Amino acid sequence: MTHCPLCHSRAEEYHQDRRRVYFQCTNCRLVFVSSDAFLSAEAEKATYDLHQNSPDDAGYRAFLARMCRPLAKRLSAGSHGLDFGCGPGPTLSVMFAELGYPMAIYDPFYAPDESVLEKVYDFVTATEVVEHLRNPAQSLAQIWRCVKPGGYLGIMTKLVIDRAAFATWHYKNDDTHICFFSRKTLGWLAREWGAAPLFVGADITIFQKV
């Protein structure tokens, strides 16, 4: 029997393509692939190394502004943050710093200083990160611990709509994408955390910690 890596409930087959089988949790509704479909760490990093993201890229800034703008509106003067999963070209941290909100950065491949995960912050961001998590229960708990009471966590990830849309969804075709969230999954996560989710647009969710 296959079990969900987020809530550990029973999962059922959801979709299959030429490369992978996808399962959906019967409880939190997370869609995921089994660990035997994971890339090696070397192959995963090689994929990320192809990303050409940087603070000098106006298009990338516009993409991240969809997270930066709504979250910055909620921050108090002097707020400090953490960008979890900053990637090879940290940019969101630069954008928040330009607004007066400095950020620490963490990435298991590009900024692996785990001491930053032992602190707490007024806000934490995870943009295009959660779909890569091999152990989402453990990683999301770790991220949530980094948020101060009253602080915010912003998650950006494309969301599962239904089985028919999933079958033709380009997002699932990236082999580094192994967990796929929906509004139901994020709602389950919010209930576990005791935090009401604020859905901003199609792919951004902001949680406030009580």
| CA proximity to 182, closest of 198, 202, 164, 152 | 202
pLDDT one-digit tens code per residue, 132-173: 999 999 999 999 999 999 999 999 999 999 999 999 999 999
pLDDT-derived band at 80, boundaries 50, 70, 90: very high
pLDDT of residue 157: 98
Domains and CATH numbers, the chain: 11-208 (3.40.50.150)
pLDDT one-digit tens code per residue, 170-194: 999 999 999 999 999 999 999 999 9
Task: Enter the pTM of the model.
Answer: 0.97
| DSSP H helices in the chain | 41-49, 58-72, 92-98, 136-145, 163-167, 183-193
Q: What is the mean pLDDT of the chain?
A: 97
